[in-house]
Structure 1
Amino acid sequence: MASRNCLVRRTAPLAAAAIAAVALAACGSSHPSASPSGRSGHETRPTTSAGPSATDSAAHGSHNAQDVAFAQQMISHHQQAVAMADLAASRTPSPQVKELASKIKQAQRPEITTMAGWLRSFGEKVPDDGTPGMGSMPGMGHSPTPGMMSPADMKKLMGLSGEAFDMQFLRMMIHHHLGAVEMAKTERAKGAHHLCRTMAKSIVLSQSAQITEMNGMLGK
């Protein structure tokens, strides 16, 4: 009996040491610096320097004098085209001419607004009906802008109706569109601003197509 008690006394410290070792191991495995996979228990995702608040304005690039000239001249050019198209509603019986005039207005009015916004952002003047040299009707003033009609041309068109109006309107608008295409090609070649050059490309494509359409209406 005495030997049994002695054995218990010798093994008790060993058991206590084993329990303490297990407890220490358990505490170590729950430390946030380690996990079964070898990664931190509080893992964070990597971050980047470019956040969602970054803007893409730099992608459009800077502008140059050609971009300003393009926007200013094309606004006046578009204003005259819209004024010519407005005459068609009361002066032509032709559904084709009326439809063409409507398409011209639908395309060019928003472009006028867009280009005016660019000029304001550039800190440049926006042409309007009060621009020196302009008459009471948009585009009535003399201008070196390619394709622009003279005041006499516009007054002549205003005095026509029926088939005579259609023929004069189509001839004038073809000449007008050719001027716009020329201006847009110059912007494509010499402009710097991405959005200005993109609009110029659109003008070349859309107005070239309308020139072909109008030549067909004239039987050319």
Structure 2
Amino acid sequence: MNRRRAQSLAAAALALLAAGVIALLSRASDDERPTAAAPSASASPIPVLIPGRPGEPATVTDSDQVQLPDGTAYNTIDVTYVQMMIVHHSQAVRMADLAPGRAADKGVLGIAGRISAAQAPEIEVFRSWLRDRGQPETNPAHDHATMPGMQTEEAVTALAAAKGADFDRRFVTMMTAHHRGAQQMTSDVLRGGADQRLSELANETAVEQGVEIRRMADLNVS
């Protein structure tokens, strides 16, 4: 009996020892097993290329991308585009509203009416876009006079003083340049912006302005 009991105790001790070794090996294996890395608070933001103005080099900046609760993402390029387009559209509407009572060509009057009807509501859409994201409507760092297609205050004043064929010629020349500038700004946001809905609106605006450029080119006002 004593021998059998000693053998049983020895077997039990070996079993406990084996279990302990297995547990240690399992824990070591778990410690060494790769795990998914948690997002790092210090991770660098995604760099975004910002096209420069004509003749200026492009710059790279942090995307500063933000995602709204509905899943819509936007970045600093989107914000800058919207802020600048409010000013850009406002000047286009201002020039278009000069046409009644000054333009002689019915085609000029028609295009001016289309511009006012389309761009005035878009300005309100842009303002709403900024409000929804807690962004200011204006940025003191923006030099609006250097935006592509922007007309000088002197040129707009001269347009307001013109009438008949003179107004028509000035309007077509100025608005064509203005529209082309807006198309250039649209290409910037399409390349670097993050808001898909805004990109779609910008693309639609660029297409519409392309149609108006062609229509103005067909007018016999030169």
The CA distance in 1 between the partners of 2:115 and 2:197, in whole Å, is 21
Aligned to 1:65: 76
The offset of 1:219, in angstroms, is: 7.1
Contact 2:176 2:216 (C-alpha < 8 Å) held by counterparts: yes
Could you tell me the percent identity over the aligned residues? 34
Contact 1:142 1:150 (C-alpha < 8 Å) held by counterparts: no
The offset of 1:90, in angstroms, is: 1.5
The CA distance in 1 between the partners of 2:125 and 2:132, in whole Å, is 11
Contact 2:105 2:221 (C-alpha < 8 Å) held by counterparts: no
1:53-99: per-residue Cα shift (whole Å, max 9, x none)? xxx922xx211001001101111000000000000001012221111
Would you say how many aligned residue pairs link Structure 1 and Structure 2? 154
Cα 1:132–1:86 shift into 2, 3 Å: farther
Q: Give the root-mean-square deviation of aligned CA atoms.
A: 2.3
Larger CA Rg, structure 1 vs 2: 1
Instruction: Give 5+ residue unaligned stretches, structure 1.
Output: 1-55, 134-140
Please list, as runs of the form range in 1=range in 2, the aligned pairs for 1:174-193 lying within 5 A after superposition: 174-193=176-195
TM-score, normalised with respect to structure 2: 0.65
Please list, as runs of the form range in 1=range in 2, the aligned pairs for 1:70-81 lying within 5 A after superposition: 70-81=81-92
- Tell me, yes or no, if structure 1 residue 124 matches structure 2 residue 135: yes
TM-score, normalised with respect to structure 1: 0.65
Contact 1:142 1:151 (C-alpha < 8 Å) held by counterparts: no
Cα 1:111–1:142 shift into 2, 3 Å: closer
Aligned to 1:23: none
Aligned to 2:219: 217
The CA distance in 1 between the partners of 2:140 and 2:165, in whole Å, is 34
Contact 2:78 2:194 (C-alpha < 8 Å) held by counterparts: yes
The CA distance in 1 between the partners of 2:160 and 2:137, in whole Å, is 27
Instruction: Give 5+ residue unaligned stretches, structure 2.
Output: 1-68
Alignment equivalent of 2:210, drawn from 208, 211, 220 = 208
The offset of 1:113, in angstroms, is: 0.5
Higher fraction of strand: 2
Secondary structure of 1:203 counterpart: helix
Secondary structure of 2:135 counterpart: coil
Secondary structure of 1:57 counterpart: coil
